[in-house]
Every structure is written in C-alpha cells, then in structure tokens.
A and B are shown apart, each in its own frame.
Chain A
Amino acid sequence: MIELSPEIITVIMLGGILVGVLLGYHTGIVVGAVGLAVGYMLLGSTVFELIYQRFYSIVLTYPFLAAPLFIFMGAMLERSGVSETLYEALYVWLGGLRGGLAITTVLMGTILAACVGIIGASVTMLSLVALPAMIKRGYSKSLACGSVCAGGTLGILIPPSIMLVIYGPMALVSVGKLFMAAIFPGLLLSFLYCTYIAVRCLLQPKVAPPVPIEERRISFLKKTIKVIIAVVPTAVIILSVLGTIFFGLAPPTEAGAIGAFAATLLAIAYRKFNFKTLRETMLRTLHITSMIMLIGVMSVAFVGVFMSARCGNVVQDVILSTPGGKWGVFGVIMFIIFMLGFFIEWIGIVFIIIPIVTPVGTALGFDPVWFGMMICVNLQMAFMTPPFASAIFYLRGSAPKELGITMPDIIKGVVPFVLLIIVALALCTLFPQIILWLPGQMIR
C-alpha cells in the first residue's frame, strides 16, 4: 500500500482512463482496470471484494431493468412498419413547403424518439428513409445530414429514453420524474429545429426545393386512413406507457414491461411477428443491455475506488473553486461535460461523472431534476460533435453510398443544430419551468 495524496491519485485515475480509452480499447475494461490497479495500490486485496460487491449490486439493480424492456419495446415497434407509413404521409402533407422534407425528418425523429430510447435506431432509420428522399429532391447535402443527425438524436432525450433510465439511479433521482421533465425540452428542441429549417429555406430557397405536385397527388382520404391504422395503436401504446408513469400507477420498469408486451401484440396484429422477429429483437435487447452494463459495472467499481481515495472531494473542490458563484460553477460543470462528450460517449459520462458532480449541484441548491435534464440536453451536443459523435457514426454507416455524402457536408450541416441546442440550454436556464412544470404536476 502506497501513500499518495488524493490529488495525485485523481490525476492518475482520470489520466489513465483518458489514455486507455483514446487508445481504442474497450471502454468498460479500461475503466475497470484503472480502478483495479489504483485500488490495489491503495487498498490491497480488499479491492477485489469491493469490485465484486459493486458488480453484484449493480447487475441486480431493479430500476435498470427498464433499459432492456424499453429497448425491446422500441425494437418491436420498429418492426411494425409504422415509421415508413408515417413518413409517406408526412411527405405528402409537408412536401410542398420549402424545406418540408427536412421538417418531416425532424418530426419523424421526434415521433421515433417516443418509440425508441436509443439514438442508433432512429438515426439509422432516418438515414435509410429520409436522407435519400431529400437528396434526390435536390436538398443541400449539409441541410439533409444535419436534420437527420439532429432529429435522430432526439431519440435519447424524449422518453422512454435509456439514458434517463441509467441517469436516475446514478443521481438518485426518480426515473419517472426525469421522463416527464424531458418531454418539453425535447419538444422545444424539435420546435427550434423546425423553425430554423423553415426560416433558412425561406431565405435560401435553393437549399430545399419543394416536391413537385405530381408526386404528392395521392388520394388524401386513402392516405389518411392508412396513417390512422398505422399510427393510432402505436400512439396509444406510447401514451399509455407515459401516462402510467405520469399518474404514478407503475414505476418505469413495469410500464416498460407492459409497453414491450403491447408492442409484441401489435406486431402480431400487423402480421409482422414471427419466430425470427422475436429472436432478433431479443438478441438486440441482450446486445445493447449487456454492452451498456459492462461500462456500467466497471464505472461503478471505478467510482467506488475513486471515492474511497477521496478523489471525489478533490474534483468537487476544484469545481467549487471556480469564480462567479453558483452559476460560474454550473457553467464549468456544463463545459466539462461538453468537452468530455467529444471523446467519451454518454454511457461513460453518466456512469462516472454523474455520481461525482451531482453532490456539487445539490450542494449549490440546484433542483436535481433540472440539473440532470440540463446535463442530458447538453449531452445531445455530444452525439453530434466530432470526433466522437454517435449520430454521425450511424449516419455514415447506414446512408446509401451513392448519395456521396462527405464528412465536411455532415459537419457543416450539424453546426447550426448544435448552436440551437445551446439556445435551448439558455432558454431552460432562464425559464426552468420548461423542465420542471410537468414533473411538478405528477401525482406522486
């Protein structure tokens, strides 16, 4: 056992993670191994017990079960083909407007966000369906890519969101409250995106030509009926899941189970259900859940060592020493999270940083739900800012090659939407009720 000052240990631990993670090795393993190595130096063989205890309690945490359930629900709803039908309808309704297809993309992203809780699914779907349609119609590539990334990223903010399911237990905040708190910021972002697109297309008509009328002349009534059949059952499922949580009838885990069950019944009703669908959905659920939770288990073990070496206090002291009072400190926290978002993705940030900074927020008198939601909206930028941007990664992975999309197109397209997120953050700071009103109305 070596005696080191907590300051030095903090630097070693955080530096170790940064180096290992940037080398490109599995994030979870790097984080856990740094915790193990430093823990062994400080605590000796007790560290093995510490890691096992953390591992055992984290994998058996009940609130985290909402994650596999909502992943299952989203994957099942995706199969029912609702998004394609909805896209066709919005295409007909909004295609005539300048920029209508880009607005359609953002609206689709918003609606998909209410079905799935992860961004991979919605960005992939938008890149396959909405992106080719926009580019074929002569939309500017950067506007098309920007709207796909921005719309798709809403998937992880608007409930049910896997990020909020993880955030709740880590910050000791109710997941149900976070779900309700996320609805208005999510809609605000969606509104800002649509307004931006509409205004930009009004000023620069060339970037988004309207869809010619011949392509939109489909029987309106027929179309509407088709949409109702496709959308209403899905909407009922989503609204009842959120309603159950809102009225305090069931915790998010149970609401997720009901939602997943209902989504399965819906797939059966649409005749989209078979053994292969079920197997693929289950495997996807297992894959994403265990991928997230490897980082989860290892990060929690890491934080255990970090806190027992009193490094948490070091970080908190550094943050609290910022000039400018409580808002200065808040700004620094937001800036740190924004910077981390460049390199690490949300799973690591939520599992490692949240337990360390949440006590600071509470000590400064910020409402934990508001504080958490500001961090989650902030993380929206992380998904869109290179070099490590999940949304861009999925777009590049799934966009058809013949569209000839280049990295500069994507980056140019994403910048205005990132600025809009900053605007949304400012609005939520000036008017905290955007976040806090709905959770305040909850029954419990």
Chain B
Amino acid sequence: MFCSVREWHPILPQGGMPFVRGTLSVADSISEWLGRSVSWFAFALILVSVYDVVLRYVFNKPTIWAYETSCMLGATIIVAGWGYVLLHHGHVRVDVFYSRMSTRKKAIIDVVCGLLLFFPLIISLLWTSIPWMVDAWVRNEVMVETYWYPPAAPIRTLLVIGLAVFTLQGIAQFMRDLHLLIKSEPL
C-alpha cells in the first residue's frame, strides 16, 4: 500500500536454526545501514542545489558540477533505498484481497511471486548492471550530459551495490516466508 510504514520488529534469537537467523539479521542490518547512510544524500542534494542557485543568481558564476552531482545523489537515494523499504514492508502492494488473507496465504503468494517475479527480475537486472560497471571502470566512461564529463563508474557501482542489497533483502524475506510456510511459525 502507498507508503504504509509498519513497525519493524527485529527478529529475536530464540533457539533453532541459529545460523539462518544470524544470516538474516546480517541482511537486515545491511539494508538498514545502507538506507540510513544514504538518507544523508537527501540533505546533500539540498545543499548542492542551494549552493548552485546562490552562485548562479548572486555571483553569476554557476557551477558545472551541480547538475550531474544532483542526478547521481538522487539515483543513489532511489536504488539504495529499495532494500531498506523492502525491510520495512514499505513497497506498494494493492492489498484489496491481500490484506484479508491469512498469514499463511500471504506467505504462499510471497514465496511463489518471489520465485517467479522478484528473483528473475532483480537478479537479471543486477547481472546486466555488473558488466556495465566493470566496463565503466576499464574504459573510463564519462557522463556526457554537461561539459563537466564526470566519470560514470562511481554511480554505476553504487547502482550495483543498491541492487545487490535489494537482492539480499529479497532473499532474507523469501527465507522468512518459506520458513513460515513449512514450519507454520515465524522465523
């Protein structure tokens, strides 16, 4: 549902499958940490734009780097946030029917759609983005939107990191749903 922010309950260790549980909480911590760190980019985005506006209108000397820096900050906020939002159950669902289902039915839908939709889509996107990242470093690819010509490698790398964390968080949620389905109790 549209930006429904539900409380996130950290999974407390309570015996049984400690290794899996430990791995899942590592995945959660990574998504949480990445989201919190990258949220500072939102503040940086404001400062960069304001700095540029002041230089342009007050000193008549616009920067050449503000435009593309802003774009890169924005792109990082978007992609690095995906794992964080997934962790906090914030991605949009049309829950006309979903909200009325039992926990078990919800888990079935999430497991099946995870296998058929989430993993093929996100992993193929991650897989395609890696050669682009490598290529950007090897060929010193530059961005050509402005006369600044910044290297494209850093942003292509950040996109790969964001997608990787999103995939990881997707695996963590998938494991939880699967456990719920098999053992009929939350992991």
Chain B nearest Cβ from A186, distance in angstroms: 20
**Interface membership of B182, Cβ < 8 A:** no
Q: Please determine whether B113 and A25 come into contact, CB atoms closer than 8 angstroms.
A: yes
Total interface residues on A, CB under 8 Å, equals: 68
Shortest 9 CB-CB contacts between residues of A and residues of B: A24-B98, A290-B81, A257-B49, A33-B117, A282-B39, A59-B75, A25-B113, A293-B78, A286-B39
Contacts of A431 in B (CB 8 A): none
B94 in the interface, Cβ–Cβ < 8 Å?
yes
| In the complex, chain A residues whose CB is within 8 Å of the CB of B93 | 24-27
0/1 per residue, B63-98, Cβ < 8 Å to A? Answer: 000010011101101111110110010111111111
CA distance A294 to B88 in the complex (A): 15
Q: State which of A1-9, A62-70, A89-97, A167-175 sits at the interface with chain B.
A: A62-70
Give Cα A295 to B82, complex, Å.
Answer: 11
Stretch from B9-17, B19-27, B118-126 forming part of the interface with A: B118-126
Q: Report whether A29 and B95 are in contact in the complex, using a CB–CB cutoff of 8 Å.
A: no
Q: Is B40 an interface residue (CB 8 A)?
A: yes
Does A345 touch B at the CB level, under 8 Å? yes
Chain A's nearest CB lies how many Å from the CB of B146? 10
Chain A positions within 8 Å of B91 at CB level: 26-29, 291, 294
- B132–A68 CB distance below 8 A: no
A344, B94: Cβ atoms under 8 Å? yes
In contact, B72 and A23 (Cβ under 8 angstroms):
no
Q: Does B129 touch A at the CB level, under 8 Å?
A: yes
Q: Is the interface of B mostly helix, strand, loop or mixed?
A: helix
Contacts of B50 on A, CB cut-off 8 Å?
Answer: 257-258, 261
Other A-B pairs, 19, CB within 8 Å; known A55-B129, A286-B77: A26-B93, A26-B113, A28-B91, A29-B117, A29-B121, A48-B124, A59-B78, A60-B155, A62-B67, A120-B3, A250-B53, A257-B49, A258-B49, A291-B92, A293-B78, A298-B121, A344-B94, A345-B92, A347-B2
Indicate whether B184 reaches chain A with its CB closer than 8 angstroms.
no
A87 within 8 Å of B (CB atoms): no
Report how far A56 CA is from B145 CA in the complex, Å: 13
**Which residues of chain A are within 8 angstroms of B52 by Cβ–Cβ distance?**
254
Count of chain A to chain B residue pairs whose CB atoms are closer than 8 Å in the complex: 202
Give A23 to B128 CA distance when docked, in angstroms: 28
A36 contacts B by Cβ under 8 Å:
yes
Bound-state Cα–Cα, A72 to B49, Å: 14
Does A109 belong to the interface (CB within 8 Å)?
Answer: no
Q: Is B106's CB within 8 Å of the partner chain A?
A: yes
Q: How far is the CB of A299 from chain B (nearest CB, A)?
A: 11
Number of interface residues of B (CB under 8 A): 66
- Residues of A at the B interface (CB closer than 8 Å) are 20-30, 32-33, 36-37, 48-49, 51-52, 55-56, 59-62, 64-65, 68-69, 72, 118, 120, 249-250, 253-254, 256-258, 260-261, 264, 278-279, 282-283, 285-291, 293-295, 297-298, 343-345, 347-348, 387-388, 390, 393, 397
The answer to whether A36 and B94 have CB atoms under 8 Å apart is no
Q: Are A68 and B71 in contact (CB under 8 A)?
A: no
Residues from chain A with Cβ under 8 Å of B36 in the complex: 279, 283
Chain A nearest Cβ from B45, distance in angstroms: 7
A253 to B: closest C-beta gap in Å = 7
B155: chain A residues within 8 A (beta carbon): 60
Q: Are A62 and B70 in contact (CB under 8 A)?
A: yes
The reply to whether A289 and B109 contact each other, CB–CB distance below 8 Å, is no
Minimum C-beta distance from A61 to chain B (A): 7
Residues on B with C-beta less than 8 A from A61 are: 71
In the bound complex, CA of A261 to CA of B132 (Å): 35
- Closest B residue to A36 by beta carbon equals B121
With A59-B75, A294-B91 in contact, is A282–B40 under 8 Å at CB?
A: yes
* B74 in complex: contacting residue of A32, A59, A260, CB < 8 Å: A59
**Nearest-CB distance from A156 to chain B (Å)?**
10
Does A48 lie within 8 Å of B127, measured CB to CB? Answer: yes
Q: Kindly state the separation between the CA atoms of A207 and B72 in the bound complex, as whole angstroms.
A: 54
A-B contact pairs, 30 of them (CB 8 A): A22-B94, A25-B93, A25-B109, A25-B110, A27-B91, A32-B121, A33-B118, A33-B120, A48-B128, A51-B124, A52-B125, A60-B74, A62-B71, A68-B42, A68-B77, A69-B46, A253-B49, A257-B53, A261-B47, A282-B43, A283-B36, A286-B81, A289-B78, A291-B3, A291-B90, A294-B78, A294-B92, A297-B78, A298-B121, A388-B96
